[in-house]
Protein backbone atom coordinates (compact mmCIF):
# COMPACT_ATOMS: atom_id res chain seq x y z
CA UNK A 1 0.00 0.00 0.00
CA UNK A 2 2.79 2.44 0.88
CA UNK A 3 4.53 1.57 -2.36
CA UNK A 4 1.45 2.50 -4.43
CA UNK A 5 1.01 5.67 -2.40
CA UNK A 6 4.63 6.71 -3.09
CA UNK A 7 4.15 5.94 -6.78
CA UNK A 8 1.00 8.12 -6.86
CA UNK A 9 2.82 10.99 -5.12
CA UNK A 10 5.65 10.64 -7.61
CA UNK A 11 3.24 10.75 -10.56
CA UNK A 12 1.40 13.71 -9.09
CA UNK A 13 4.70 15.51 -8.55
CA UNK A 14 5.74 14.92 -12.15
CA UNK A 15 2.34 16.09 -13.36
CA UNK A 16 2.59 19.29 -11.32
CA UNK A 17 6.11 20.00 -12.63
CA UNK A 18 4.95 19.34 -16.20
CA UNK A 19 1.91 21.61 -15.84
CA UNK A 20 3.99 24.42 -14.35
CA UNK A 21 6.61 24.15 -17.10
CA UNK A 22 4.08 23.77 -19.92
CA UNK A 23 1.85 26.51 -18.52
CA UNK A 24 4.72 28.96 -18.25
CA UNK A 25 5.78 28.13 -21.82
CA UNK A 26 2.26 28.77 -23.12
CA UNK A 27 1.95 32.00 -21.12
CA UNK A 28 5.39 33.14 -22.25
CA UNK A 29 4.14 33.32 -25.82
CA UNK A 30 0.91 35.19 -24.95
CA UNK A 31 2.30 38.73 -25.20
CA UNK A 32 0.77 40.30 -28.29
CA UNK A 33 1.94 43.77 -29.27
CA UNK A 34 -0.70 44.17 -32.02
CA UNK A 35 -2.54 47.46 -32.21
CA UNK A 36 -2.19 51.11 -33.06
CA UNK A 37 0.04 52.98 -30.63
CA UNK A 38 0.28 56.77 -30.20
CA UNK A 39 3.32 58.41 -28.55
CA UNK A 40 2.55 59.91 -25.15
CA UNK A 41 5.18 62.67 -25.08
CA UNK A 42 4.39 63.75 -21.52
CA UNK A 43 5.07 60.25 -20.16
CA UNK A 44 8.12 59.64 -22.37
CA UNK A 45 11.68 60.52 -21.46
CA UNK A 46 13.28 61.64 -24.70
CA UNK A 47 16.93 62.42 -24.80
CA UNK A 48 18.54 65.15 -26.85
CA UNK A 49 18.14 64.87 -30.59
CA UNK A 50 15.02 62.70 -30.36
CA UNK A 51 12.80 65.25 -32.12
CA UNK A 52 11.99 62.89 -35.02
CA UNK A 53 10.95 59.92 -32.92
CA UNK A 54 8.12 57.72 -34.05
CA UNK A 55 4.79 59.41 -33.29
CA UNK A 56 2.67 56.35 -34.06
CA UNK A 57 3.26 52.64 -34.58
CA UNK A 58 0.86 50.16 -36.12
CA UNK A 59 1.79 46.62 -35.07
CA UNK A 60 0.43 43.44 -36.61
CA UNK A 61 1.65 40.33 -34.79
CA UNK A 62 0.54 37.02 -36.26
CA UNK A 63 2.22 33.74 -35.35
CA UNK A 64 5.93 34.24 -35.98
CA UNK A 65 5.46 37.44 -38.01
CA UNK A 66 5.75 41.00 -36.73
CA UNK A 67 4.86 43.89 -39.06
CA UNK A 68 5.66 47.41 -37.89
CA UNK A 69 4.43 50.57 -39.63
CA UNK A 70 6.17 53.52 -37.95
CA UNK A 71 5.00 57.08 -38.63
CA UNK A 72 7.26 60.03 -37.85
CA UNK A 73 7.58 63.66 -38.85
CA UNK A 74 10.28 64.29 -41.46
CA UNK A 75 12.78 67.14 -41.61
CA UNK A 76 10.38 69.35 -43.53
CA UNK A 77 7.38 68.60 -41.31
CA UNK A 78 5.88 65.98 -43.62
CA UNK A 79 4.57 62.70 -42.22
CA UNK A 80 6.57 59.62 -43.23
CA UNK A 81 5.65 55.99 -42.65
CA UNK A 82 8.15 53.15 -42.93
CA UNK A 83 7.24 49.48 -42.76
CA UNK A 84 9.33 46.61 -41.39
CA UNK A 85 8.47 42.92 -41.70
CA UNK A 86 10.26 41.01 -38.96
CA UNK A 87 10.08 37.52 -37.49
CA UNK A 88 9.89 36.60 -33.82
CA UNK A 89 12.38 33.73 -34.08
CA UNK A 90 15.58 35.77 -34.00
CA UNK A 91 16.25 35.50 -37.73
CA UNK A 92 17.58 38.76 -39.21
CA UNK A 93 15.41 40.65 -41.68
CA UNK A 94 16.65 43.30 -44.09
CA UNK A 95 14.65 46.42 -44.95
CA UNK A 96 15.90 48.66 -47.77
CA UNK A 97 14.93 52.18 -48.73
CA UNK A 98 16.31 54.82 -51.06
CA UNK A 99 19.52 55.53 -49.12
CA UNK A 100 19.42 53.06 -46.24
CA UNK A 101 19.65 49.35 -45.52
CA UNK A 102 18.62 48.05 -42.09
CA UNK A 103 19.15 44.57 -40.68
CA UNK A 104 16.99 43.80 -37.64
CA UNK A 105 16.47 40.77 -35.43
CA UNK A 106 13.84 40.23 -32.73
CA UNK A 107 14.40 38.15 -29.60
CA UNK A 108 11.92 37.22 -26.86
CA UNK A 109 12.86 37.68 -23.22
CA UNK A 110 13.09 34.48 -21.18
CA UNK A 111 9.74 35.16 -19.54
CA UNK A 112 8.07 35.93 -22.90
CA UNK A 113 6.81 39.30 -21.72
CA UNK A 114 9.07 41.55 -23.77
CA UNK A 115 10.94 41.60 -27.06
CA UNK A 116 14.25 43.15 -28.02
CA UNK A 117 14.70 44.52 -31.53
CA UNK A 118 18.38 44.92 -32.43
CA UNK A 119 19.09 46.84 -35.63
CA UNK A 120 22.05 47.99 -37.67
CA UNK A 121 21.41 50.60 -40.38
CA UNK A 122 23.83 51.62 -43.09
CA UNK A 123 23.22 55.02 -44.71
CA UNK A 124 24.63 56.36 -47.97
CA UNK A 125 24.51 60.15 -48.29
CA UNK A 126 26.37 62.20 -50.83
CA UNK A 127 28.95 59.47 -51.39
CA UNK A 128 29.56 58.88 -47.69
CA UNK A 129 28.53 55.80 -45.75
CA UNK A 130 27.84 55.70 -42.04
CA UNK A 131 26.34 53.20 -39.63
CA UNK A 132 23.83 53.43 -36.81
CA UNK A 133 22.98 50.71 -34.30
CA UNK A 134 19.94 50.61 -32.06
CA UNK A 135 18.29 48.41 -29.48
CA UNK A 136 14.64 48.64 -28.53
CA UNK A 137 13.18 46.68 -25.61
CA UNK A 138 9.39 46.52 -25.92
CA UNK A 139 7.08 45.69 -23.02
CA UNK A 140 3.38 46.07 -22.26
CA UNK A 141 1.69 47.02 -19.02
CA UNK A 142 -0.43 44.32 -17.39
CA UNK A 143 -3.61 45.49 -19.13
CA UNK A 144 -1.96 45.69 -22.57
CA UNK A 145 -2.88 49.38 -22.98
CA UNK A 146 0.57 50.97 -22.60
CA UNK A 147 3.61 50.05 -24.70
CA UNK A 148 6.99 51.09 -23.34
CA UNK A 149 10.05 51.07 -25.58
CA UNK A 150 13.46 51.50 -23.96
CA UNK A 151 15.61 52.79 -26.81
CA UNK A 152 19.38 53.07 -27.04
CA UNK A 153 21.24 53.98 -30.18
CA UNK A 154 24.70 54.77 -31.41
CA UNK A 155 25.51 57.03 -34.37
CA UNK A 156 28.64 58.85 -35.51
CA UNK A 157 27.21 61.81 -33.55
CA UNK A 158 27.13 59.86 -30.28
CA UNK A 159 24.97 57.75 -28.03
CA UNK A 160 21.25 58.31 -27.46
CA UNK A 161 18.84 56.84 -24.93
CA UNK A 162 15.11 57.31 -24.46
CA UNK A 163 12.12 55.72 -22.82
CA UNK A 164 9.17 56.04 -25.16
CA UNK A 165 5.63 55.47 -23.89
CA UNK A 166 2.79 54.74 -26.30
CA UNK A 167 -0.93 54.58 -25.55
CA UNK A 168 -3.11 52.07 -27.37
CA UNK A 169 -5.54 53.80 -29.70
pLDDT (0 to 100) of residue 6: 60
136-169 as b/e: b if 16+ CB within 10 A: bbbbbeeeeebbbbbbebeeeeeebebebbbebe
pLDDT (0 to 100) of residue 2: 63
pLDDT in tens, the chain (169 residues): 566 666 555 555 444 444 444 444 444 457 999 999 999 999 999 877 666 689 999 999 999 999 999 999 888 888 999 999 999 999 999 999 888 899 999 999 999 999 999 999 999 888 899 999 999 999 999 999 999 999 999 988 889 999 999 999 9
pLDDT (0 to 100) of residue 49: 64
pLDDT (0 to 100) of residue 77: 85
pLDDT (0 to 100) of residue 23: 44
Amino acid sequence: MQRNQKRNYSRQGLLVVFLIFFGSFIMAQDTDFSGEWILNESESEMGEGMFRMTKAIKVVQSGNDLELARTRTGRNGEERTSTENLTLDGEPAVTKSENRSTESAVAWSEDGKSITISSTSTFDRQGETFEMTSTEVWSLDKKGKILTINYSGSTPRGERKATLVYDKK
